[in-house]
Every structure is written in C-alpha cells, then in structure tokens.
Amino acid sequence: MNINRRHFFSAGATAFSAAALSSNARSAETGPPHVGVPDSVDPSYRIRNKGIRHTLMGWCWKPMDTLELARHAKEIGLVGIEGVDRKYYPALREMGLEISLVSSHGFANGPCNPRFREEVIAKLNEAIDVAADVGCKKVITFTGMKFDGMDPERAARDCVDVWKNVLPHAEKKGITLVLEHLNSRDSSHPMKGHPGYFGDDVEFCVELIKRVGNPNFKLLFDIYHVSIMNGDVIRRFQTHRDLIGHVHTAGNPGRCELDSHQEICYPAVMKAVVDAGYHDFVAHEFIPTWPDPILALRHAAMVCDV
C-alpha cells in the first residue's frame, strides 16, 4: 500500500490532536489522575523471601521515634537498621535488629581535601571500632566535596592514601569500608542531591576502589544516585558486582517511594541483584510522602521481596 509521507504525518497529527482533546475532556470530568498510595499495597504484608537482607536508613523517617520505627521494621520482617543515633544501638540489638552500616565522617568533609585528612582518618578509625563492638561489618565513607583550586588527580590520590591508611585497622577488626557514590544533579533538597560532590560518577568511584585494591574496600551501590548520574542500573550492577558491598534504594525522581510514580523498576532491579549473587543488605533510603510512612516502608519491602 503506497501512502504519501506528508499525508501520513498530517493525518497522524490530526488523530493525535483529537485524542489529546478527548483525553483533556475526560480529565476535566474526572479530575487529575490518582497520585498516592497504590491499591495493590497489602497493609499486612511481611517479607517472605530471603534473596536479600532488608534494612532501612533511619534518617528518612524522622521525626518518628527510632525505637517505634524499629518495632515496625521488625514486624514487617526487616533484619537491620542504619543511619540512626548510636545511643540506640544496644536497644536495637536487644530487639533482634542488626546494625547494617555505621556512619563515619559524613559526605562533606572528605579525604579528597587535605584539610580534612586527619579528621577523616580519626572518624573512620572510631567508626570501625564502634562497628566491631556492635557486630556490624560495614562502615560508610565518602570522597567529600570539591573545593577551590582542587586538582582532581591529586584529590583522587589523597582519597586513596587516606583509605589505605585506615584499612589495616578495618581488616584487623573484620570491617569493610563502603564508598558511597552520590548524585550532584538534584539541588532541590539537601538530601536528594549533593552538588559539588567529588565522587558523583559511579565509574570513577569504581576506579578509586580498584586503585585501593583491598577486599575490605567496596562500593555502596545506591540505586537512586546511580539512576540519576549514570543510568543503566542493572548492567552496571552486574558489571561491578564483585566490588559492591552494600545497596541503597529510593525512587527517582524525588527520592520518594518505590511506586509507579517514579522511573526505576525495582522488581526487575532486585531480581537482577539477586541473580548476580548479591544476598546482603539492601537499605531502603527513601523519604516517605504517603500519609502513612510505615505503609510506604511495607510497600518497599513488598516490591523488593525477592
């Protein structure tokens, strides 16, 4: 069938316009599409599978009381918690929850800046001791923020030098340092993105890990940050699997729930994570927007239950 190209696109545009007008008319009658809690959420869902070890990042659920949050997490079937005040560690351990990750020097003052070298070394060594005392196997680290006059190659060398300095202590205590890659694109919220962060390219962070060359130094693969800065999440995870020591989740855009209003297909990503042989902690680090933040956590556990 021979169709004139100009006629085809003209007819297509007409049809599209008609469809759009029809859709707008329906929207005017029914209101905007539903945004919020999906109907598929089971309010009694508990984690059923053992493919990954679910945990959560406590700061996201503030101002909820930490022990109340922990009780909900335990009921849902999470096995750990991180990103909470260390004073809660004994009570959390008594509840049967693991401390999945211990914080250290923060993402701003990092080893890329020689000004913070001694501070970072001291805080990493302290965090390693704390982790060992509470039975945690991981301590987080960051590159830090860029600074005026920074030479990127020297900054990379300084990072590697600091990590190599503390790794003998980590090895002695049986602790793995995990380097978190962060996005520098989102400037809408102080915890949704970090403009100026030195380690904002996950491939660069992988290169730093290879330069360190120590099995006790690995990548914290934050799915949200990788999605924003690099994309191709599943293939990147598969490619770097042997260097990955911890995983974080959140919906993109908005660092929101893992629902249909964001672009990452978490069931597919989690299946790929397990298929790649990763069965360790996956921490839910999204900022709840639903009226019931615990239902949002339950939904994340359901979506990622592989």
| 291 preceded by a cis bond (ω within 30 of 0) | no
Long-range contact list for 64-69, CB < 8 A, 24+ apart?
Answer: 64/293, 66/92, 67/91, 67/92, 67/95
Return d(Cα 121, Cα 113) in angstroms, integer: 12
CATH architecture observed for domain 52-303:
Alpha-Beta Barrel (3.20)
Q: Say how many C-beta atoms besides its own lie within 10 A of residue 119's C-beta.
A: 15
pLDDT means per 10 residues in the chain (306 residues)?
37 36 32 52 94 98 97 98 98 98 97 98 98 98 98 98 98 98 97 98 98 98 98 98 98 96 97 98 97 96 97
Orientation of helix 117-134 relative to helix 152-173, angle to 10°: 30
Give the pair of three-digit tokens for residue 183.
């996005």
Q: Measured at the alpha carbon of residue 45, what is the angle toward residues 44 and 49, in degrees to the nearest 5? A: 155
CB contact at 8 A, 131 and 99: yes
Helix (H) or strand (E) holding 210: helix 202-212
Secondary-structure percent of the chain, ordered helix, strand, coil, rounded to 5? 45, 15, 40
Beta pairing partners, 101: 82
Rg (CA), the chain: 22
pLDDT at 139: 98
Domain boundaries, the chain: 52-303
Give the pair of three-digit tokens for residue 145.
């923020």
Q: Say how many C-beta atoms besides its own lie within 10 A of residue 83's C-beta.
A: 22
pTM attached to this predicted model: 0.88
pLDDT at 40: 75
Give the pair of three-digit tokens for residue 232.
């191709």
Q: Closest Cα to residue 136, out of 59, 207, 81?
A: 81
Helices marked H in 230-288: 233-239, 266-275
Return d(Cα 24, Cα 11) in angstroms, integer: 20
**Residue 177, exposed/middle/buried by CB under 10 A (0-12, 13-18, 19+)?**
buried
Amino acid identity, position 189: H
CB contact at 8 A, 74 and 68: no
pLDDT at 39: 67
